[in-house]
Structure 1
């Protein structure tokens, strides 16, 4: 461990020389100066761990020196040194930000003890802040499975990096927005805005104006100047959810912004610059969309600089029960009731279910059960039919009966398509076949609904 750097500030040169010599003998790394100006010069060019400042100095006294040192390095511990009779001023200095004070003449042992106490407090504060930042960035990523441990590790690495273009991919309902927020919370941009944009929910003709802004009169209905979400997110993170739904016409402009950070609001004559970290998310196979001509290849590669995969709930062994308990506590607090509890049979069904809707499906289930059966014990009888019929899927090569052939489990893509098909058909049924109302129910644009229907052959 490197010796702590101590800055000694006192106008009495003999005192400074003797103190520097004594501190060196104690294994510290002291630097002595005789004025506030010299102290500030040292602080600007050297990393200092602690400063010793005399209260009575000509030109700039100790109180003003303390203020200027703290302005330059707010977390620098400062110990004030006062002459006999200056105790009241020393106490005032502590109130102004000094960590302690000593009265001349003092024993060297007392000074060394005071220094080590202040350095230990500073070290502890830094460790607490470090662990607090780690907890903040991954606190929402709940789960004890190896898949979630790997995800939290990836989020911490990506969040702390300098990359400004990140792609999150995973099935619908896995929590990609939570991952995006965790990346933002663990980054150096954490105290700046986090702006979320659902690209599938915006009307196709308004996405550009929503992202980049628009001048008054730039299009029909633009009665006033619109500030784009890129400008709102300045200095922070812009989260583009459902990036695969961005129309081809806008993809070129989005690529230009990702390349050099500049954009032009709709109807504007000047180019603007934006400093944002762009995090995009999708539940679709962008590489397949590129092959089908629905997504620009250059935009795909620009977004896919750093990729984070969010595991499906069925890939997170044991996490369904952990999440169920978490949501039960959350919704119990929200509904001001006791949390629901699960029978062993119910637990077995939850663990056996494939969760095609992932965490979102589980969360909605627990919320519904909490509202309908507050504080009660949940038996299989009150579970939805799709859960009551849940069973552990047969493994490849396992016979299901006498002479039965091996049964291969359905693919992930098959389950995703089936779940999406059911959701689309249910929305169309509720809206009597009206696509616009069905799209609103699903929280996507009519254009996105049309493309999903075409892809599924509906």
Structure 2
């Protein structure tokens, strides 16, 4: 097998020598040049397995080199060498097609990990050929034949091939975590850990310890050293779900950890290098939160290098039968019973329904229907879909239907106190609580925060209202 080759482009002799020695010890052949012109000639003369380029060069900039390689040598991963803390350059490089970036002064251990990951990626690119295998690989779990879902699968395959941070946008329940897992599994980090974290579920006072870890004795209750989420995800992917829930003070610390690729546990004197790919998601409009001053603009640009939108179920109604069949098959395997069958009226009802809770709501509806139906035959009545009251001419359209868990409550109960004021208020509370639980993925601490009440108050109301 021929020796793998690396092209290094940097006008600083010390950096060229450092990379040449370090990469040479990894049994790699290194060709080092100092200008864009020399880099162009080198790329014309032969192919390389990996490329490093400085941002500032005497006759141009590294961005030109990245764009050249992306256009003419798409199978060659390229990493940008940036000055300390230069986030804008790193983001622009990733958007232009760079695989990753390295900050000066160069951390040798991190450099070696980056090289191993990049070379693995290059091998997979050459072996994989085109996008089709990637799309097929995600098809067994990301269900749907609609054009929008086909595009999502192809995009996942492309995003898996680099290390750029990806922001996954979409409503609650569309499957954002599944998309993140597929990006991880189809990329060169698949053998590393995938660490998902719900940012809205961590109490504010514990966030720094949870993300970065702590040293024994650093605060009351710290009886032993603890590894943080960044360290747990080292060599793999950290998925920040509901990233919009991060408080501003934590956004600052997160930004530093991402751009410097290092964390400092509470009570530690030195930072620890971490090699983590960041994927993030939220059902909220992050750009609007930036405008309102509720989310830092610099962090937004750092995590939103590439945005992938996952469509809501109402935009791909044709996928509902496929999804339903898949879910019913899973339920049968889970519960050990017969596989449920949708009758014609049930299929029509599902295809006409808007699904404000998306795929998660569909799963909830079908699980309930299997519990309520006779045998394995599911009718529209068994689905217990929320009913909309008929509208008078000129009346405005209703808001989103009640959550699936409210299907047994009459639709008019929340609009008139005919049943008594106590019942009326209870129904309003029940609707608000169930909505908050669904939006927080049934995390009670996060739901209580959304409702503006204490966890203990929420627990009392759940018991009082009979909500399981």
Distance of aligned partners of 1:187 and 1:438 in 2 relative to their CA distance in 1, 3 Å threshold: closer
Confirm or deny: 8 A CA contact 1:242 1:281 kept in the other structure.
Answer: yes
How far 1:161 sits from its partner (Å)? Answer: 2.4
Q: Which runs of 5+ in 2 are unaligned?
A: 3-26, 32-45, 48-125, 408-424, 454-468
Q: Which residue of 2 aligns with 1:299?
A: 299
Distance 2:381 2:293 in 1: 48
Once the two structures are superposed, residues 77-107 of structure 1 have per-residue CA deviations (whole angstroms, 9 ceiling, x without a partner) of: xxxxxxxxxxxxxxxxxxxxxxxxxxxxxxx
Distance of aligned partners of 1:127 and 1:279 in 2 relative to their CA distance in 1, 3 Å threshold: closer
Q: Which residue of 1 aligns with 2:236?
A: 236
Q: Which residue of 1 aligns with 2:158?
A: 157
Confirm or deny: 8 A CA contact 1:431 1:438 kept in the other structure.
Answer: no
Confirm or deny: 8 A CA contact 1:341 1:377 kept in the other structure.
Answer: yes
Q: Which residue of 1 aligns with 2:223?
A: 223
Once the two structures are superposed, residues 81-140 of structure 1 have per-residue CA deviations (whole angstroms, 9 ceiling, x without a partner) of: xxxxxxxxxxxxxxxxxxxxxxxxxxxxxxxxxxxxxxxxxxxx9679997665334432
Confirm or deny: 8 A CA contact 1:332 1:374 kept in the other structure.
Answer: no
Equivalent residue of 1:445, what SS? helix
Q: Which residue of 2 aligns with 1:175?
A: 175
Once the two structures are superposed, residues 283-321 of structure 1 have per-residue CA deviations (whole angstroms, 9 ceiling, x without a partner) of: 111111112221111111111101110100001131112
Distance 2:228 2:265 in 1: 8
How far 1:278 sits from its partner (Å)? Answer: 0.5
Distance of aligned partners of 1:366 and 1:261 in 2 relative to their CA distance in 1, 3 Å threshold: same
Normalising by structure 1, what TM-score? 0.60
Q: Which residue of 1 aligns with 2:258?
A: 258
Normalising by structure 2, what TM-score? 0.59
Q: Which residue of 1 aligns with 2:411?
A: none
Once the two structures are superposed, residues 316-351 of structure 1 have per-residue CA deviations (whole angstroms, 9 ceiling, x without a partner) of: 131112111110011111111111111111111000
Q: Which residue of 1 aligns with 2:449?
A: 450
Confirm or deny: 8 A CA contact 2:437 2:443 kept in the other structure.
Answer: no
How far 1:426 sits from its partner (Å)? Answer: 8.2
Distance 1:270 1:311 in 2: 43
Once the two structures are superposed, residues 41-77 of structure 1 have per-residue CA deviations (whole angstroms, 9 ceiling, x without a partner) of: 9x99999xxxxxxxxxxxxxxxxxxxxxxxxxxxxxx
Distance 2:437 2:144 in 1: 36
Distance 2:265 2:277 in 1: 19
Confirm or deny: 8 A CA contact 1:214 1:265 kept in the other structure.
Answer: yes
How far 1:159 sits from its partner (Å)? Answer: 1.0
Distance of aligned partners of 1:297 and 1:374 in 2 relative to their CA distance in 1, 3 Å threshold: farther
Once the two structures are superposed, residues 147-201 of structure 1 have per-residue CA deviations (whole angstroms, 9 ceiling, x without a partner) of: 11111111111111232x1111110011100000010011111111101111111
Distance 1:273 1:226 in 2: 16
What is the root-mean-square deviation of aligned Cα atoms in Å?
A: 4.1
Q: Which residue of 2 aligns with 1:83?
A: none
Structure 1 residue 142 and structure 2 residue 155: aligned? Answer: no
Distance 1:390 1:323 in 2: 28
Q: Which residue of 2 aligns with 1:290?
A: 290
Query: How many aligned positions are there?
Result: 317
Distance 1:349 1:438 in 2: 22
Larger Rg: 1
How far 1:381 sits from its partner (Å)? Answer: 2.1
Confirm or deny: 8 A CA contact 2:143 2:323 kept in the other structure.
Answer: yes
Distance of aligned partners of 1:293 and 1:325 in 2 relative to their CA distance in 1, 3 Å threshold: same
Equivalent residue of 1:206, what SS? helix
Equivalent residue of 1:160, what SS? coil
Distance of aligned partners of 1:366 and 1:426 in 2 relative to their CA distance in 1, 3 Å threshold: farther
Distance of aligned partners of 1:408 and 1:310 in 2 relative to their CA distance in 1, 3 Å threshold: farther
Give runs of aligned pairs for residues 362-401 of structure 1, distance below 5 A. Answer: 362-373=362-373, 375-386=375-386
Structure 1 residue 269 and structure 2 residue 254: aligned? Answer: no
Distance 2:213 2:427 in 1: 32
Equivalent residue of 2:449, what SS? helix
Distance 2:290 2:440 in 1: 27
Confirm or deny: 8 A CA contact 1:160 1:188 kept in the other structure.
Answer: yes
Distance of aligned partners of 1:273 and 1:374 in 2 relative to their CA distance in 1, 3 Å threshold: farther
Distance of aligned partners of 1:426 and 1:190 in 2 relative to their CA distance in 1, 3 Å threshold: farther
Q: Which runs of 5+ in 1 are unaligned?
A: 7-40, 48-124, 392-399
Confirm or deny: 8 A CA contact 2:172 2:439 kept in the other structure.
Answer: no
Confirm or deny: 8 A CA contact 1:340 1:373 kept in the other structure.
Answer: no
